[in-house]
Amino acid sequence: MIGVYDSGFGGLSVLRELRARLPDRDFLYLGDSGRAPYGGRDCDTLLDFAEQCTERLFERGCGLVVVACHTISCVALRHLQRRYAGASSSRRILGVTIPAAEAAVAISGGHIGVIGTKRTVLSGTFEIEIGKLAPHRVSQRAAPLLAPLVEEGWEDTDIARQMVARYVSELKGIDTLVLACTHYPLLMPAFVDSCAAKILDPAPFVADRLSDWLERHPQFDAPGDGVVQAECTSDPVFFREHATRFYGSELTAVQSLSEDGGRLVPRRYGPPTGQVVR
């Protein structure tokens, strides 16, 4: 079973592409929606969250984890790989940043724009990875308001189009724009209207790279029954209702998790109402 981890709903757009490319594989999706958005968090908090989510996926039997969140892939992927997936380990953790950088370089004429969360941009990871591949110029813009807007379901509103246009207007002269947040593909019409550059959604390229990787490393996962399971750290009913917008179809069931002693475990009770005393 392949684990797919994201800060909330956005990674479901990656899972959709993975499922299309690998229909016979079993997947477990973990959306840390109760603690989203990640983009404005400090690095230590992100490492804590990433460890808890990765450990939960391993506990559930995933030998391979795909970090679908660009923020975590940019900030914490190396930490996760060193902590849990050394050369002698039977586990592997892969990210989305390198496939995105490779895809951008392949189609760019020399000036790549990157739009993502504050933490993704501050990490400089896209500049580093693109620089390893080609001497392309890289311009970046943090867009902290876009992911929460999509989580709210406002991607088809005038305010969404205005916000996208405002952010994109600051990326002067780019020929390719990387959507470096898994929420942003839902804003694709707004990006197309606001930007003359080629717009790159990395998700299909991530799926292609994972398929190629599994052919070369079949020991880390085997074909299954095509089953998809999901877990989240927020209200599972709300999560199911909004997941369809990202995933393209309904999730059959969602298990709710809560943090207990630094671990994510199944939630024993429903979301509290009224006053809460501990």
Catalytic residue ranges? 69, 181
Q: What's the full length of the chain, in residues?
A: 278
Is-contact 43 124, C-beta < 8 A?
A: no
Sheet containing strand 228-232, strands side by side: 92-94, 64-67, 2-6, 27-31, 228-232, 254-260, 263-266
- 64: β partners: 2, 92
Q: What are the CA-CA distances from residue 86 to residues 47, 78, 81, 121, 124 (Å)?
A: 17, 11, 6, 27, 24
Spatial distance between the Cα atoms of 98 and 196, rounded to a whole number of angstroms = 24
CA end-to-end span of the chain, whole Å?
38
Q: 53, 18, 47, 55: which is closest to 34 by C-alpha?
A: 53
Spell 116-138 as b/e; 16+ CB within 10 A means b. bbbbbbebebbbebbeeeeebeb
Nearest to 113 by CA among 132, 133, 94, 138: 138
Q: Is 233 helix (H, G, I), strand (E, B) or coil?
A: coil
Structure tokens at 92: 């592997």
Distance in angstroms (rounded) separating the CA atoms of residues 7 and 30: 8
Radius of gyration of the chain (CA): 18
